[in-house]
Amino acid sequence: MNIFQKIKKIFQNLGKIFEGAKNNLFKKSEIEAIAFERMSICEACPLLDREGTKCMVPGTAPCCSACGCKLSYKTRSLSSECAHPDGPKWKAEITQEEEDKLYLDIDYNPDSEI
């Protein structure tokens, strides 16, 4: 995958990346339980990249070599699912549409100050 394809993929998944980053920063026990279960599955997967050679963004290991995602974010993104080429090893907890509705319901504005 060339640099332009990587940038395009990052922008396509920006909402999921933000969700995972937010959940990594502001931890909640329910999400941490899901992330722990997902990470346990990833730890046993041969596609786990601990060195970061297959990470979408350099320096974000451990990541998934199938999709290049930083696992501390991906496992905490409730609208993400495993990208294993043989089929997902874990599924999304909510859809992207449900996530978007949730943000609307709580009047989420990414440009406002926290």
Q: Could you please report the per-residue DSSP string of 33-88? A: HHHHHHHHHHHT-TTEESS-TT-SSTT--SEETTT--BHHHHTT-TT-----TT--
Could you tell me the pTM of the whole model?
A: 0.79
- Res 112: pLDDT: 54
Q: What SS3 state is found at 27?
A: coil
Angle 89-90-91 from CA coordinates, rounded to 5°: 130
Q: Where do the domains of the chain lie?
A: 3-105
Give the integer Cα–Cα distance in Å for 25 and 6: 24
d(CA 38, CA 82): 9
Bridge partners for 10 per DSSP: none
Averages of pLDDT over runs of 10 residues in the chain (114 residues) are 79 85 90 96 97 91 94 94 96 82 62 51
Residue 111, pLDDT score? 53
pLDDT at 105 (0 to 100): 66
Closest CA to 61 of 71, 74, 75, 47: 71
Rg of the chain in Å (alpha carbons)? 14
pLDDT at 114: 45
